[in-house]
Structure 1
Amino acid sequence: MKKEVETKTAYEKAAGLMNQWYTMIKRHEALQAASLKQEIKELLANMEKNGDLQLYFHLLDYRHKLMTEQFAESAEVFREIQKQKEAVRNADDIIQYYFFFFSGMYEFYEKNYFEAINCYKKAEHKLYKITDEVEKGEFHYKIAIAYYQVDDHFRSMNHAEKALAVFNRHDEYIDKAIGCDMILGSIQFDLFRIKEAEEHYSRALDRAASFHNLRVVGLIYHNMGVNYANRNMPLLAEEHFRKALSIKIHEQSIFGINTIFELAHILYKHGYAEEERQLCKEGFSRAAEQGEEEYTAKFRLIFALYDGGHPLDIDFSLEYLTNKKLWAHVAELAKDIADYYMGQGDEKKSAHYLEKSRYAENQICKVKEELI
């Protein structure tokens, strides 16, 4: 009996510490999270094996690695978790919720956005078991981002507004509230509501600056640049991409590769010469080094199109994005290719790539219908 009580106490202590660990992860408290992770590992090593605890630890280890941008390592951890089908099947509802929720995050970072949404929807069936309001906000935040990636603006807006309402009640999650404003601002940009969009972004920027959160400030400038580029406002887009890259923590992060691509792309499209070649070279090198296949393909494509690279790289890169079902990116880039060839007087090639763009747009509509 005494041993059973001791086992239960140890189990409760480990579970409580893991909950604290997850809270630190969500708050981006990297040093504290790393320290607590080590404490939990030592505690688990001296306990009897418990399937749910071990599974929960591995799930949080995956989430920890995502927070610290160890994307390759995090993917490896999650692929191991996916092999534990029996443990997942026998786990309690809350562990299953985290499994499906983190599965959505895994698929999202693998660029499988529609599969990510399907995983999130499975998690949503068990969301009623979650009593923590902040965790529910976290769920709505993540699925809002996924819906935005597939251009499902109204579902994205619905979840982003729910998440924002939660995070506005918790000052320690100010960065997530800022993120919600960024999503809502981007949606308003896409709906051509420029004034409302800029209000969201202005509020996000003010809040991030007041907390000296340069990581988030960089992301805000990047997102604003993307939105101005999409609205064919190249000077404002360039200005905001340069502001993002002037922030060292952003420029050196994996998100900085994205910004370098967007700046190089817009400079190429508007006829500049030397700087974008250097940006393209730097961005391609960093993307290849970090295993960012999407961006190696994109850099190869724009270099081939605008700067004398091998013409076959255009189709190889577009094929990669198509195989990954990154339909929004295929639609945008194929349209840019069509515009370029039209400007060169090659109507046949222009029509060919315009058809690819329309096909991608149709695929977006088709998959959206399947998500209903």
Structure 2
Amino acid sequence: MKIASAEVAHLMTQWYTYIKESAIPQAIAIKDEIEHALKNMEEDEYLLVFFQLLDFRHKLLTEEFPESSEHSYEKIKNLEEDIKKTNDSLQYFHYFFSGQYHYYKKDFINAIRFYKFAEEKLKSIGKEIETAEFHYKIAVAYYYIKQNFFSLRHAETALDIFKAHEQEIYLTRKINCEMVLGANKFDLFRYNEAEAHYQKALADAQSIDNQSLTGKAYHNIGISYAERKLYEKAEEYLRKAISIPEHLSSRVGINSVSDLTRVLYKQGAKDEAHSFLQKGISMAQVADDGEYHAKFQLIKALYEDGDLQTVSNSLEYLESRMLWPDVEDFAQDIADYFKELKDDRNTVVYLEKVIHAKEQISKVTEELE
């Protein structure tokens, strides 16, 4: 007897919910159930295409971008012409998931381009929560290219929608929205407002005992102190962040180790900084993360080896990846380091790189228009 397509559609909706919640064991279990059901399902081309899109999104969650995820993306790209012949709903998910793929690859420009294509189809979904999910995702992408006003607008829209839903499963999204709002307001020098968002996020994360989000909140508070050169407070919160295993093993964990390493070097705690440097290098090697390998090599070359060639090469790598906010951040650190040494020539060289990075960031809006 054939399984009704409506029954399989219900399972797929639940699968997508687990994916959005990063509930990996549940997502894997229900995927197996769906794959079995598809073999016995009445014919439904829409659901077969939707399965391939969700399977791609599932891989983004579970496989940390090995070659299989890139292969899956190529399969989705090959489906594009077929998807264009379907309804707006499938087209929305195609563009939305493609945006997430580029976001996780740190190709933020293309991520936003795909999100904007998705936005044109968003009304077809007709679900308020999916609308909030969209606005949250694009807000984060805009933040990473320092388009703060765009990011704020989308984050505020997402938070307003999530606030209208009292279910606990949406509290994690509210917490994430608070952190995005805090990060943007910090960049806009609205420090008191940023602190309020971060502290609310921290309190809410602790209230539901969500260790991963608690660590993320500590991380954000820590880097907000580091940016203001309040290094003792920065160290306190970054240590709290990396003391939480769920945070340390997350995508943000290596960032906390990098930031703490820099903070310790700036305070002159070279032995302890070296220990965290080695930890970070090891984490980057295990993750095969070229970005953080370059960052830790830059930190080592600057603060330990005085190897200006490696400093330059590492910064050039970040430039080649068009990670302009990171280039600006590290170039400013390098300029500050040489200023302390009264090395005026190198101070000027790296301040010029700061200016160049800022100019590249400002060009992003033009590229997206």
* TM norm structure 1: 0.92
Tell whether 2:269 aligns with 1:275. Answer: no
Tell whether 2:350 aligns with 1:356. Answer: no
* Partner Cα separation in structure 2 for residue 67 and residue 160 of structure 1: 22
Whether the aligned pair in 1 keeps the contact of 2:8 and 2:34 (CA below 8 Å) is yes
* Partner Cα separation in structure 2 for residue 334 and residue 367 of structure 1: 19
Whether the aligned pair in 1 keeps the contact of 2:135 and 2:157 (CA below 8 Å) is yes
Instruction: Report the counterpart of residue 49 of structure 2 in structure 1.
Output: 55
* Partner Cα separation in structure 1 for residue 65 and residue 358 of structure 2: 29
5+ long unaligned stretches in structure 1: 1-5
Instruction: Report the counterpart of residue 173 of structure 2 in structure 1.
Output: 176
Within 5 Å, give how 1:104-253 maps onto structure 2.
Answer: 104-170=99-165, 171=167, 172-253=169-250
Tell whether 2:314 aligns with 1:317. Answer: yes
Instruction: Report the counterpart of residue 296 of structure 1 in structure 2.
Output: 293
Within 5 Å, give how 1:79-94 maps onto structure 2.
Answer: 79-94=74-89
Among residues 4, 17, 23, which one is paired with 2:17 in the alignment?
Answer: 23
Among residues 245, 256, 260, which one is paired with 1:259 in the alignment?
Answer: 256
* Partner Cα separation in structure 1 for residue 87 and residue 266 of structure 2: 53
Give how far 1:310 is off. 4.1
Instruction: Report the counterpart of residue 40 of structure 2 in structure 1.
Output: 46
* Partner Cα separation in structure 1 for residue 282 and residue 22 of structure 2: 28
1:283 aligned partner, one-letter code: G
Please, what is the CA RMSD of the aligned residues?
A: 1.9
Of the structure 1 ranges 61-70 and 354-363, higher mean CA displacement relative to structure 2 is found in: 61-70
SS in 2 for 1:254: coil
- Check 1:44–1:237 CA distance in 2 against 1; reply closer, same or farther (3 A cut): same
Give how far 1:48 is off. 6.8
Give how far 1:92 is off. 2.1
- Check 1:213–1:189 CA distance in 2 against 1; reply closer, same or farther (3 A cut): same
* Partner Cα separation in structure 2 for residue 234 and residue 91 of structure 1: 55
2:113 aligned partner, one-letter code: N
- Check 1:249–1:289 CA distance in 2 against 1; reply closer, same or farther (3 A cut): same
Give how far 1:31 is off. 2.6
For each residue in 1:236-263, what CA deviation from the matched residue of structure 2 results, as whole angstroms up to 9, or x when unmatched?
2111100001111112333211110110
* Partner Cα separation in structure 2 for residue 196 and residue 110 of structure 1: 31
Give how far 1:178 is off. 0.3
| Number of residues of Structure 1 aligned to a counterpart in Structure 2 | 366
Give how far 1:290 is off. 0.9
* Partner Cα separation in structure 2 for residue 130 and residue 235 of structure 1: 48
2:27 aligned partner, one-letter code: A
* Partner Cα separation in structure 2 for residue 166 and residue 92 of structure 1: 25
Whether the aligned pair in 1 keeps the contact of 2:223 and 2:234 (CA below 8 Å) is yes
Instruction: Report the counterpart of residue 72 of structure 2 in structure 1.
Output: 77
* TM norm structure 2: 0.93
- Check 1:224–1:66 CA distance in 2 against 1; reply closer, same or farther (3 A cut): farther
Tell whether 2:33 aligns with 1:36. Answer: no
